[in-house]
Every structure is written in structure tokens, then in C-alpha cells.
């Protein structure tokens, strides 16, 4: 059996973020409503209890929650061993409470038990960055700028070598074949080769910790990754949502 976990959610009139095991799955600001579902296997490191946290903030440009703001979510499980999605079970469905004008956010936290046939080697083996004796943001900016230079100079092999562990974990958790995994990586590089250029980091970026202090990423004020690629001919933008950790026994950031 290949259990495939998805979170089915709705969000209305808010900037929202969904985390699995304190790692961001998605963040978005919407003026209206959205309903979607996202796979979460890549954020499940091993079998056992998993934590979900959803949080809604005021819409971009607002300081208070809209009266109609709310979030809804549940986890569905499928078996994909046959190549099709065979429904197995649905966990409890949750809703956030009605917004309180004295509190500038809405949110809900819950847990569910997952049973998966893998164990990922990921951030659980990293140092706690909140206890670091160095300037984490400064070192992280240095790492981002290194990646920006690699992309813009066409040094894709160096970028791939850094990105490989993250994609390897994704392939294992999502039950991807070798060809499927290579195709995912090839798609990222293809975009870079087709006119996209990594943009300089903005001055108002901030650092966001996750995974209980073991992951860090630079974010822009729209809550999305600070690493952006733009195509000057089409005005299209790609966001690379990278996260970084420092493995125990090492002192440099790595993509994970």
C-alpha cells in the first residue's frame, strides 16, 4: 500500500498559511474565497502523530479580519499503489471560529496519525537555529545570493546538486519513479533556461523559522519566498519556496 495524504481546505477573505509539522505547506492572500487540496506526504517525515496548523490574517492592506473570514480543513487518505486514487478514509473536519475584532487573526490546530512506508532524512537532523551563536539572517542572505549567482550565471549543475536532497525526499514521499523525479527537476531548470532571471533580494525581507526552529527561509512582505525569478519578455514571475537547515556537525546552510 502507498498511503497518499491530502489536505482539503477552504479559505475566505484572509491572508492564510497552512503548516504541517510546523513547516509551511501554502501561504496566500485572497480577496474572496478559495477551495483546494494539496498533498502533504512530503511534510510527513515518518509514521506517527502529525500536527496541522491553519492561520488566517487580515487581507493585504487591511489591519482587521473581515467579518466573513474563516478557514475549513480536513485530511483525506488515498491508496495510490495501483496508479489510481483509491479513497481510504477521511479525518475530522475543522472550522475556525468567527473573527474577534480584538484579535488580528483566526486559527486552528489539530493532529492526525499517519502510517507511511518511508522515513525521510530531513530537518529533524538539523541544529536549532534559534539557539545559533551567529547572525542567522546574515548567513542565510549570503546563501540566497550564492544561489542567485548560480542561476544567473547558468551554473545549473551547482544548483541541482544543492537542490537534489530536497527533491530526493519529495520523490520518496510522493512515490515518484526515477523518470518522474527527473522530470520535476528538469522542469525547474527548463524555466531558468527559457529567460527567467533570479531577482536581487529586497530590502524588506524577513526571516521565518519553522520546523520547531530547525528550518529557516527568507520571506517577502506578501508572506511568500524572497527568491523570485522573472522573465523580462513576458513579465511572468516564478517563486522558489526553498527552506534551509544546518545539519548537525556542519556549519553551512543546505536546501532541504
pLDDT per residue over 153-180, tens digit each? 999 889 989 999 999 999 999 999 989 9
Do 44 and 68 have their domain in common? yes
Question: How many Å apart are CA 13 and CA 28, to the nearest integer?
Answer: 11
Residue 30 is predicted with a pLDDT of: 82
pLDDT per residue over 29-62, tens digit each? 888 899 999 999 999 999 999 999 999 999 888 8
Q: What's the pLDDT band for 142 if we cut at 50, 70, 90? A: very high
Choosing from 114, 143, 168, the residue where a domain stops is 114
Rounded average pLDDT over 196-207? 95
Q: What's the pLDDT band for 193 if we cut at 50, 70, 90? A: confident
Do 96 and 157 have their domain in common? no
Residue 75 is predicted with a pLDDT of: 99
Work out the percent of the chain whose per-residue pLDDT is above 70. 100
Choosing from 114, 148, 175, the residue where a domain stops is 114
Position 152 pLDDT exceeds 90: yes
pTM value > 0.85: yes
pLDDT per residue over 116-136, tens digit each? 999 999 999 999 999 999 999
Buried b (16+ CB within 10 A) or exposed e, 44-53: bbeeeebebb
Q: What is the mean pLDDT of the chain?
A: 94
Position 192 pLDDT exceeds 90: no
Do 81 and 134 have their domain in common? no
Q: What's the pLDDT band for 150 if we cut at 50, 70, 90? A: very high
Residue 224 is predicted with a pLDDT of: 87
Q: What's the pLDDT band for 115 if we cut at 50, 70, 90? A: very high
Choosing from 74, 93, 114, the residue where a domain stops is 114
Q: Give the bridge partners for 109, in sequence order.
A: 53
Rounded average pLDDT over 193-210? 93
Residue 185 is predicted with a pLDDT of: 83
Do 106 and 132 have their domain in common? no
Domain count, the chain: 2
pLDDT per residue over 54-89, tens digit each? 999 998 888 899 999 999 999 999 999 999 999 999
Residue 128 is predicted with a pLDDT of: 97
Question: How many Å apart are CA 71 and CA 76, to the nearest integer?
Answer: 17
Residue 176 burial (CB < 10 Å; 0-12/13-18/19+)? middle
Range of the domain at 56: 3-114
Do 95 and 190 have their domain in common? no
Amino acid at each position: 500500500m502507498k498511503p497518499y495524504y491530502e489536505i482539503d481546505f477552504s479559505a475566505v477573505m484572509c491572508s492564510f498559511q497552512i503548516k504541517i509539522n510546523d513547516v509551511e505547506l501554502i501561504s496566500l492572500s485572497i480577496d474572496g474565497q478559495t477551495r483546494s487540496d494539496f498533498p502533504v506526504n512530503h511534510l510527513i517525515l515518518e509514521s506517527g502523530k502529525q500536527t496541522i496548523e491553519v492561520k488566517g490574517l487580515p487581507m493585504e492592506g487591511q489591519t482587521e479580519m473581515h467579518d466573513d473570514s474563516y478557514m475549513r480543513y480536513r485530511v483525506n487518505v488515498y491508496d495510490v499503489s495501483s496508479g489510481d486514487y483509491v479513497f481510504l478514509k477521511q479525518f475530522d473536519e475543522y472550522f475556525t471560529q468567527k473573527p474577534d475584532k480584538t484579535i488580528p487573526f483566526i486559527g486552528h490546530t489539530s493532529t492526525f496519525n499517519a502510517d507511511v512506508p518511508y522515513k525521510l532524512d530531513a530537518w529533524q537532523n538539523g541544529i536549532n537555529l534559534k539557539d545559533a551563536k551567529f547572525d542567522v539572517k546574515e548567513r542565510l542572505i549570503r546563501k540566497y545570493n550564492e544561489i542567485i549567482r548560480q542561476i544567473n550565471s547558468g551554473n545549473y549543475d551547482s544548483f541541482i546538486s544543492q537542490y537534489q536532497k530536497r527533491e530526493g525526499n519529495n520523490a520518496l514521499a510522493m512515490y515518484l519513479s526515477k523518470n518522474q523525479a527527473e522530470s520535476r527537476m528538469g522542469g525547474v531548470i527548463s524555466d531558468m533556461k527559457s529567460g527567467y532571471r533570479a531577482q536581487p533580494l529586497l530590502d524588506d525581507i524577513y526571516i521565518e523559522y519553522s520546523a520547531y526552529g530547525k528550518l529557516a527561509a527568507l520571506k517577502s512582505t506578501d508572506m511568500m519566498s524572497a527568491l523570485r525569478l522573472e522573465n523580462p519578455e513576458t513579465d511572468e514571475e516564478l517563486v522558489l519556496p526553498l527552506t534551509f537547515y544546518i545539519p548537525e556537525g556542519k556549519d553551512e546552510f543546505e536546501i532541504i
